[in-house]
Each structure stands twice: as C-alpha cells, then as structure tokens.
Amino acid sequence: MLVRASALGVPLLSQPSVPATAPHPRRWVILAVVCLATLVVLLDNTVLNVAIPSLTEELGAGTADVQWMINAYALVQSGLLLTAGSLADRYGRKRALLAGLALFGIGSATAAFAQSSGQLIAARAGMGVGGALLMTTTLAVVMQVFQGAEVPKAIGIWGAVSSLGFAGGPLLGGALLAHFWWGSIFLINIPVALIGLFAVTRLLPESRDPAGRRPDLPGAVLSTVGMVGVVFAIISGPVDGWGSTKVLLSAAVGVLALGGFVAWEAHTPTPMLDMAFFRNRRFNGAVAGGILSAFGMAGSLFLLTQYLQLVLGYPPLEAGLRMSPLALVIVALNLTGVGARLLPKTGFSGAIAIGMALLAGGLAVIAVTGSAHGYAGLLAGLLLMGCGIALATPAMASALMGAIPPERAGAGAGLQGTATEFGGGLGVAVLGAVLGSRFAAGLPDAVPGSAARSLPEALAAAPDDGARAAVRTAFADGLTSSQLIGAAAVLLGGLLSAALLYRADRPATPAARPRSRSPHLRLRRADRPPTVPGPAHLARARARTV
C-alpha cells in the first residue's frame, strides 16, 4: 500500500507505509552522541585551514602539499560515501557507526604525530574512510529514532551541528594552535572517538534495511572510482594545469566510471542507489542546493582564514575568534527554532531561497567591503552568511531525507554527504585557482613569478616595504574575485533548488472533467438490468431491417 508522508506540512514522495512504533526512550541522548560524531567529522574539513602557516614552516609544505593535506580527507570521504551508506543499510547502521569511530580515531592519532607532508596526507586519507562511515550513519540514525513532529526539530539540531562543524573549525584550530603544536588539532579527536564508541555500544539500537538487499559490488567499485577520479581532477587542475595529461585522464576515467555506475544502477535488481530518486524534483532540488552552497561556503572559509592571518596579520587564535560570529549565529538561530518556525510558512523552497540569498549576500559583502574596511566588512558578511546557513541547511536535509524511503536512509545520507563533499572540494579547488591566477597576475615586477606559489613566499621575495604592500594588495584582489564567484554560485544554487522544490510542492492540477456523460451516470446505467423488448420494439426493429 502507498501512502503520502509529510514533514512540516509539506507533502513528500510516496513511500511504502510502515507500522508506527513507539519513539526510542533515549532518543535525545542518542542525538547528542550522533551530533558529537558529526561535529568532529565536519570540523576536520576546516580545522586544518588555520594551521596552514604552521605546516608550511614546520613540515616544509608547499602550496600543492597543503592542498593535498586538506583535500585528501575530502577525496577519500567523497569517494566512499555512497558505498558506506549502502553497506550501513545492508549490514547495520550501528556497526557502521562503530567502525567509523574506530577508524577515525586511529587516523587522527596517526595524523597528530606525522613527521612529513606525505605521512600527514596518508593519515588524512585514512580519516576519510572513517568519516565516510560516520557521515552516512548519523543522519540515518536520526531518522530511525525520531518520529512524527520531533523529526524536523531533530534534523534542525543535526543541521546546526553540521553547519557548526564547517564554521567552528577555524576557532577550534586557532585555540589549540595558540597553546599547543599543530598535531593537537587531530589529537583532540581521540577522546571524542572513545566516548562515541562507548555511548553507541550502550545506547544505539541496531537497524538495517529489512529487504536484505545483497551488496552491489559493481556499483560500489564504479561509484568509488568515478568520484575519486572526478575529485582528483578538480584538486589537481589548479596545480598541474587543467589541460595536463594527468588531469584530463583522471577526469575521463571518473566520468566514464560514473556513467557506467548510472547505467548499472538503472538495470540491476539490487541497486546501491535507486535512480528513481532523481525523478523527484524535491530530491534533485535538495542535492543541487547542497552542492552549490558547499561550493561557496567551503571555498570561502578556505580563503578567509588565510586572509585573516596572512593579510590582516592575526595570529591563529585571533583569526579563529574573528570567524566565530558565523558559528554563533548558526547555533543561536537553530537552537531557538527560528528556521523550524519559518519552514511551515515558506515551505522548503522558500526557506532555501531565503537562506541561500543571505549566504550569497554575505559572501558578496565580504568580497566588496572586506579589503577596504578590514574586519568590519568581514563581520557583516559573516553574520549574513550565518543567517543564511541556519535557514537553508536544515531545510535541504529535511527535503532530501523526506524524499526517500526510511529503509534507504543510509543511501540517502550517503548521497547528501557526497554532494556536500563534492561541492566543498570543488569550491576549494576552483576558488583557490581563481585566487592563485589573480595573485600571480597582480604581483609587482620586483617579485619573481616563482614566488607566486604562496603569499609567504611572495612576501619573503619582496625587496622592500612597497613591494610587500603590493603583494598583499594582489592577494586581496584575488580574494575579492574568488568570493564574488562563490557568491554567484550560491545564488544560482538557491534559485535552482528553490525552483525545483516549488514545482515539487505545488499541488497537482485537478484533472479536467470529461465532456461526455458523467462516469457515475455511465456506471449507474450500466448497472441497470437489461430491458426486455416488447412487441412494439420488435416490430420497429423488423421495419428498419427491411
């Protein structure tokens, strides 16, 4: 039997009806544990940004090394998210969560004591494996233990923590770097992993897809190869050149593998990702908005942390503190339920359109006023960004998870995480490439072109104070161009996502009444007993025949 599910008063995709069960008695404690695991995973997307100057100095890391330290985590995580979500649905989400916590803790310990750039990059890749398992199970667990009217509130809290993870990384990293060495930003994950292992073991019930689908091994291989190939090309393009053999070959392998994945999933009886999801406008709108919002947010935070330290001269802790208004606004608006109260009035499309417009406006304010007005311009932009993220992120998560059957929650969460990681990696690569090209073009003639690899190298190569001022101006101009591109991408994503969601939520037009006799009239006449012809009828029939 098919029923119409709904969340926040908005009709969702038709889903198989499931029997109602009592809510889990310890669901709020479970939510706290899940949010803690989500927080550390997302913090590691941005916490490394404030350590870039320290890593450049202590490990001798160049621009390419720094980008790989940041992107190795996202590369592995984005490549495995779909597979991890499918495995969690198949073998159990509790098991996947425990495995993810263990791998994430081991990878963090290895990263904390890395002695070279290569070791740190490898450790970050290992953390990405654990992060993929965690990201695909946390949201699925929220959907498992909450029911009814509590679901939007729980997703709002989860969304606030997710956004806080992106925005709070620079603050946590700055606080740790002010008192400890750079490895402490990874060492802090170990107690969180241990607490999570204990709490998940004691509190979380096991859940899995009751259909018992067999593992889709070809789909897992094709999706992993495809995502890794595409993301690798995105990351390598700014360093090796977009027309280089390595980049083109990686992109070709990735695109072909993803094409094969789509073809395989459309025909296999047990798909890892049901292609029917993409026929739902609500699902497509949430995915599109997630990609482009992550594009602007991750790329902008990557650039802003460097700008605060390398251009405005703030030490790591002060740079993190000056980024904290973004995180504080997100937490305040979500915990006070502003977004949850607005959502029933605006619907998914309205909430996402407003949120993404505010996020784009914040990025534009930073781009236009940040360089001219110092931190004051940045603060205004950060506050607008925080308001936009707080409104858009929970709405996108609710729209996406409400558009899929509950038993496939792991696969849905995996796709949501893939969209976020893909968008974030693309944002860091593209906006970083724009910054690099504008920076190199704006350097004064007294600075050699080879020094354009990073701002510290260019400043060191500048012969006098005038040249150093010109170097900082070139960097600020590159930042402005990058932020404006990020703002345009976010605004485009908001418009596209809102349009798809609006069309999905619009009531269907009632079918036109047929011009012929009423079907009820036809039915009543058809149900009448047949009329027995009398003598007069028979006489007229014989006359017509003659």
Across 97-118, average pLDDT: 87
The stretches of 308-337 forming alpha helices (DSSP H) are 316-335
**Location of structure tokens 């995580």:** 77
**Considering the chain, what percentage of its residues have pLDDT values greater than 90?**
2
CA-angle at 210, arms to 207 and 212, nearest 5°: 110
Taking only the tens place, the pLDDT of each residue in 409-455 is 777 777 777 777 777 777 877 787 788 778 778 877 777 766 666 67
Number of domains in the chain: 1
**Rounded to an integer, what distance in angstroms lies between the CA atom of residue 415 and that of residue 407?**
15
Q: What is the pLDDT of residue 520?
A: 44
- In the structure encoding, which two tokens stand for residue 163, read together? 């956004």
DSSP string, 22-81: PPPTTHHHHHHHHHHHHHHHHHHHHGGGGGHHHHHHHS---HHHHHHHHHHHHHHHHHHH
What separation, in Å, do the N-terminal and C-terminal C-alpha atoms of the chain show? 57
**CA 51 – CA 129 distance, rounded (Å):** 22
Phi, psi of 178 (to 5 degrees): -70, -20
Residue pair 113/185 in contact (Cβ under 8 Å)? The answer is no
The two structure tokens encoding residue 125: 């890749």
Predicted confidence band at 506 (pLDDT cuts at 50, 70, 90)? low
Q: Is residue 52's pLDDT more than 60?
A: yes
Q: Between these two residues, 122 and 204, which has the higher pLDDT value?
A: 122
Q: Does residue 113 sit in helix, strand or coil?
A: coil
Is there a domain that residue 79 lies in? yes
Residue 546 placed within a domain: no
Q: Taking every pair of C-alpha atoms in the chain, what is the biggest distance, in angstroms? A: 121
- Classify residue 240: in a domain, yes or no: no
Highest mean pLDDT among 180-194, 305-319, 325-339, 515-529: 180-194
Q: What angle do CA 309, 310, 313 make, to 5 degrees?
A: 60
pLDDT at position 252: 93
Q: Tens of pLDDT along 265-274?
A: 888 887 877 7
Residue 444 lies inside a defined structural domain of this protein = yes
Residue 153 lies in a domain: yes
Amino acid at 349: S
* Residues in CB range of 80: below 8 A, 6 or more apart: 128, 129, 132, 224
> How far apart (Å, rounded) are the C-alpha atoms in residues 431 and 49?
15
- Angstrom distances, CA of residue 528 to CA of 38, 517, 522, 523, 532: 67, 16, 10, 9, 12
Continuous segment of H or E residues that includes residue 12: strand 10-16
Average pLDDT value over all residues in the chain: 75
Predicted TM-score (pTM) of this structure: 0.69
- We report the CATH number of the domain holding residue 61 as 1.20.1250.20
Q: Which of 8-12, 305-309, 508-512 has the highest mean pLDDT?
A: 305-309
Strand partners, 4: 14
**Is residue 542, in this structure, part of any structural domain at all?**
no
pLDDT value at position 249? 92
The span from the CA of 165 to the CA of 163, in Å, is 5
Whether 542 has a pLDDT exceeding 60, the answer reads no
DSSP codes joined into one string, 416-436: HHHHHHHHHHHHHHHHHHHHH
User: In terms of pLDDT, which residue wins out, 487 or 343?
Assistant: 487
Segments forming the whole domain that contains residue 364: 24-207+270-505
The 10 Å Cβ neighbour count of residue 279 is 10
Q: What percent of the chain has pLDDT over 70?
A: 79
Integer Cα distance of 46 and 16 in angstroms: 39
Domain membership of residue 224 (yes or no) is no
Residue 49 inside a domain? The answer is yes
CB burial readout 394-417, b (16+ within 10 A) else e:
bbbbbbbbbbbbbbbbbbbbbbbb
pLDDT of 377 strictly over 80: no
For residues 366-390, give the mean pLDDT. Answer: 80
